[in-house]
Structure 1
């Protein structure tokens, strides 16, 4: 295989220098050369910056915007000069042959299909707690848990194991309102509508080592992100107005029922917080239109 692809590894991080070190060390074992490594740092202290400057002088270090993961991903993209991008989480490690496998698959697929190479996203699975996790299709409520059938058009990726053509970011960027959760499904569903294709390469595997750091910070955002992103998909991407508003009612009821069952009356407080956050996202998204 030729080495005509130049890949940028973008790692968005927040207060996880120990995890980040494992991620960066794994890049050195790659059987395919890495064009550049970019770390966008949303940390609330200087530990990560000190780590990069003392141990990884070749890494491009960027202070993050500290607005959440969507904004941090876009911030990393500002420094990209390669032909392709992999967003590797700070608590993941790169498989030694991952990039070699992805680019061999990409070359073969384009040769056989005749598709535009700059329109193809390649995703593999990730190994998480000993289990391979593949991209899942969204159900009506926005949960990504439906397996794709053979030959079915994909609209989702495993973000730790997805390689994007850099050209895609001229048309689609990450939603900067999203602090955490569902930013990748929001991005990919919009990218597919722009004519990009997602192809699965099952042999390309990266490893996720879930960190507990930041979980309390991110926890309030995930449910709100799912509701907002799914509503936006129905309303704006698919332009199905009635479906979008019907979804919002059902999703609100579902969240309320789930929270009540899980936490009793305390769940009502959680639901109110979630729906307020959804409302703020929607207000920011549609008040300007």
Structure 2
């Protein structure tokens, strides 16, 4: 048996199946994601040798979903009462009735056929992957007003050919290599007041565009991120990423506002925790106020963090960002370790460069101390823990350290370049 057997992913609809689903065996683990209709509530890993009985399974479910259920109960003004006892004791009729009441405000009999949202997908030489993303867009229950595919410095016409098969999808080329260049072209091309970005390697939940649009009905929200669920856990590399680098930010709403910024400013605001570039959106007007994406950052430049640096700027301008876990996409992680190591190097390189750029923008932020003191201590601890075998999580440690050093060097070499910030 492999040291890291694959996990079979099962999405469990609790309103339809409160009891235990059929679990994969034969040396596989199970990764279960629990839903109440269209709302994800929690997840759990069951290892290959972990086969709970029905009673143990119900305890596992309650542990996974209780934080989210209590969150929604508080939002809708319903006291928790005895809901967990009803589920534990298999009083499913009472439990389902209570859950239906709690989640009724989030259920919609019919979604609008179209909402004024521009969806932008930036891609480069990944036509087969892009096709899957566009297929999922075509299957959305609520369609965006427009879809723009930005082909970033392509070396062939494969992306253009894929887009041509989807009537109504607009194709444009950004000849300058770099994700921030492509994102900025998407901003310029988009015509709607709400602009949603997703990646070519995701599949979208049918309600995604509607949930993006719904988020911005709160006029205080200027940007949003959403839940990113993993679509496959077959290889060690995919498992390392999901367990230690996951894009999943949880199952409860989070508002990042000026009060949040002030609380975390002295230690360097961890804006990278706000979400992922694979699932985020903005009011288009915010770019006129805070500037476009910094073209020193992102894939094809520093490597990453053009999105989190933008979130930092939005926060420093006094605006709110909403993490909405009801806006869901499914991400395909890298399958092979060498691909993961390349990705993590880029992440850490961009992470360091962005931290120093943010420190430059906001001198009272604590990024210098974070980067030059906290991070070395953190990695010294991880190296000590991983020594001497450096397995699983430790497989990328040296790559991470080299990425951080490369990011610092990148910043000092490029700090005088134009950054698209307003003057």
**By the TM > 0.5 criterion, same fold?**
yes
Any idea what the Cα deviations from partners look like across 1:27-49, whole Å, max 9, x if unmatched? 11112221111111123322212
By how many angstroms is 1:229 displaced? 1.0
By how many angstroms is 1:24 displaced? 0.6
Change (3 A) 1:145 1:86: closer
Instruction: State the partner residue of 1:191.
Output: 314
Correspondence for 2:351 among 212, 226, 230: 226
Aligned residues: 268
Instruction: State the partner residue of 2:304.
Output: 181
Instruction: State the partner residue of 1:280.
Output: 413
Instruction: State the partner residue of 1:149.
Output: none
Instruction: State the partner residue of 1:167.
Output: 285
Unaligned runs of 5+ in 1: 147-155
Q: Does 1:99 align with 2:224?
A: no
Correspondence for 1:208 among 295, 310, 331: 331
Correspondence for 2:226 among 113, 116, 124: 124
Greater mean alpha carbon deviation, residues 95-104 or residues 82-91 = 95-104
Instruction: State the partner residue of 2:160.
Output: 49
Aligned mates of 1:205, 1:264 — CA distance in 2: 30
Aligned mates of 1:104, 1:189 — CA distance in 2: 23
| CA-based RMSD | 3.8
Change (3 A) 1:22 1:282: same
Aligned mates of 1:7, 1:208 — CA distance in 2: 21
Aligned mates of 1:72, 1:194 — CA distance in 2: 24
TM-score of the two chains, using structure 2 as the length reference: 0.53
Higher RCO by CA contacts (8 Å cutoff, separation 6 or greater): 1
Aligned mates of 2:174, 2:160 — CA distance in 1: 11
User: For the Cα contact (< 8 Å) 1:259–1:271, is it kept in 2?
Assistant: no
Say which one has the larger Rg. 2
User: For the Cα contact (< 8 Å) 2:174–2:182, is it kept in 1?
Assistant: yes
Aligned mates of 2:163, 2:113 — CA distance in 1: 27
User: For the Cα contact (< 8 Å) 2:149–2:172, is it kept in 1?
Assistant: yes
Change (3 A) 1:222 1:141: farther
Instruction: State the partner residue of 2:116.
Output: 6
Q: How does 1:55-70 map to 2 (within 5 A)?
A: 55-70=165-180
TM-score of the two chains, using structure 1 as the length reference: 0.75
Q: SS state of the match for residue 311, structure 2?
A: helix
By how many angstroms is 1:23 displaced? 0.6
By how many angstroms is 1:208 displaced? 1.1
User: For the Cα contact (< 8 Å) 1:231–1:247, is it kept in 2?
Assistant: no
Greater mean alpha carbon deviation, residues 254-263 or residues 125-134 = 254-263
